Amino acid sequence: MKLAIVYTSVTGNTKDLAVILGGLLKDYEIDVKLFSVGEFPQKRLGQFDAVVVGTYTWGNGEIPEEMQPLFRAFETQDTHSIVTGVFGTGDQFYPHYCGAVDKFRDMLYVHSELAVTLKVELAPQLQDLKRCRKFAEILIQRLRQLCPRRMDKIS
């Protein structure tokens, strides 16, 4: 079972959240690879059983420019059988809190097997750990539903 976490981060908050989620998902003994968006092999998107997208929000609730190619890759490649999740960090001060997460969520719902989303206020805090664990559990549950034979060995 191969899972990619693909993220972009300006302040480090989204990267921190990606690392936390990666650690929790590795507890399920699956092959988890962490990629900054510029390192991710978008043309081989289909080689992963699951892809988790992490993004901050830019401007007025927009997807950051560096995430646009990944967004388009999901729209144009055959990704309907890939289990996905999306997470992000943001500031509730802005009118479109984590708007990029919402835009990815809506697109992934149509183009993949969207399992779960997560929004975190600014930097991940200790109180966010429970929500991160729930994110990982839900993602793994969806993988078990869609790939039961491949998931037999996963605790």
Domain range 2-151, CATH class: alpha beta
pTM, full prediction:
0.93
In 3D space, the residue among 125, 120, 104, 129 whose CA is nearest the CA of residue 53 turns out to be 104
* Domains in the chain: boundaries: 2-151
- Distance, in Å, from the CA atom of 50 to the CA atom of 33, rounded to the nearest integer, reads 11
Helix (H), strand (E), coil (C) string for 4-41? EEEECCCCCHHHHHHHHHHHHHHCCCCEEEEEEHHHCC
pLDDT digits (tens, 9 = 90+) for 107-134: 999 999 999 999 999 889 999 999 999 9
pLDDT digits (tens, 9 = 90+) for 5-41: 999 999 999 999 999 999 999 999 899 999 999 999 9
